[in-house]
Structure 1
Amino acid sequence: MTSMILNTDVLQKDPDRAVVVAITSREVFEKGAEEDHLILREDMTTSLLQLLHEMNKRLEQENLQFDVVLITTDSQQQQQSSSIISSTKHHSLEISRFCFANEEDFAESLQKNNVQLFLTSDRNEASQAMQKGVLSALLDHRAASAPSDQLRIMFCEDSVIQPDSGLMPASRQALQSLAVQLGEMRRRFSLTDSPLCFILMTTHGGKDSCVNSLLTLRSSGIHVDEAYCLAGAPRDPIMSVVQPHFTIRVSFSESEE
Structure 2
Amino acid sequence: MVSTIQNTDVKQVRLPREGLCYVGLSNKDRQKDADRAVVVAVTSRAVFESGADGDDVYGMGVAFPLLQALQRVNERLLEENPAESLLFDVVLITTDSQQQQQSSRIISSTRHYGLEVSRFCFSSEEDFVEGLQKNNVQLFLSTDRNEAPQASQKGVLSALLDRQEAPSEQLRVMFCGDAVNRPDTGPMPASRQAAQSFSAQLGEMRQRFGMSDSPLSIVLMTSHGGRDSCGGALRTLRSRGVNVDEAYCLAGAPRSPILSVVRPHFLLSDDFSALED
Structure 2 match to 1:208: 228
- The question of whether the paired residues in 2 share the 8 Å contact of 1:78 and 1:100 is answered with yes
Structure 2: which 5+ runs fail to align? 2-17, 183-187, 272-277
Structure 1 match to 2:67: 49
Aligned sequence identity (%)? 65
Q: Pick from 23, 28, 43 the counterpart of residue 42 of structure 2.
A: 23
The offset of 1:148, in angstroms, is 5.3
Q: Pick from 113, 134, 150 the counterpart of residue 128 of structure 1.
A: 150
Structure 1 match to 2:269: 249
Distance 1:229 1:218 in 2: 17
Distance 2:49 2:215 in 1: 28
1:149-228 matches, cutoff 5 A: 149-158=169-178, 169-228=189-248
Structure 2 match to 1:254: none
TM superposition score normalised by structure 2: 0.81
Distance 2:147 2:243 in 1: 29
Q: Pick from 114, 120, 125 the counterpart of residue 136 of structure 2.
A: 114
Residues 149-180 of structure 1 show CA distances to partners (whole Å, capped at 9, x for unaligned) of 22110011447xx9xxxxx7111100111122
3-state SS of 2:24 partner? coil
Q: Pick from 99, 102, 105 the counterpart of residue 77 of structure 1.
A: 99
Distance 2:190 2:162 in 1: 24
Residues 38-95 of structure 1 show CA distances to partners (whole Å, capped at 9, x for unaligned) of 4231x55222211211211221222211000000011111111111112212222100
How much is the aligned-residue C-alpha RMSD, in angstroms? 2.0
Residues 82-133 of structure 1 show CA distances to partners (whole Å, capped at 9, x for unaligned) of 1111221222210000010111111111111100001112121111110011
Distance 2:221 2:255 in 1: 9
How many residue pairs match? The answer is 241
- Distance of aligned partners of 1:73 and 1:108 in 2 relative to their CA distance in 1, 3 Å threshold: same
Distance 2:54 2:141 in 1: 27
- The question of whether the paired residues in 1 share the 8 Å contact of 2:24 and 2:117 is answered with no
- The question of whether the paired residues in 1 share the 8 Å contact of 2:76 and 2:215 is answered with no
TM superposition score normalised by structure 1: 0.87
Distance 1:218 1:108 in 2: 32
Structure 2 match to 1:99: 121
Structure 1: which 5+ runs fail to align? 163-167, 252-257
Distance 1:40 1:34 in 2: 12
3-state SS of 1:183 partner? helix
- Distance of aligned partners of 1:222 and 1:143 in 2 relative to their CA distance in 1, 3 Å threshold: farther
Distance 1:148 1:22 in 2: 17
Structure 2 match to 1:5: 21
Structure 2 match to 1:58: 76
Q: Pick from 99, 104, 108 the counterpart of residue 86 of structure 1.
A: 108
- The question of whether the paired residues in 2 share the 8 Å contact of 1:4 and 1:97 is answered with no
3-state SS of 2:248 partner? strand
- Matched to 2:20, the amino acid is M
In the alignment, is residue 32 of structure 1 matched against residue 48 of structure 2?
Answer: no
Distance 2:20 2:208 in 1: 32
The offset of 1:14, in angstroms, is 1.1
3-state SS of 1:247 partner? strand
Distance 2:178 2:20 in 1: 36
- Matched to 2:23, the amino acid is N
Distance 1:192 1:82 in 2: 40
In the alignment, is residue 233 of structure 1 matched against residue 253 of structure 2?
Answer: yes
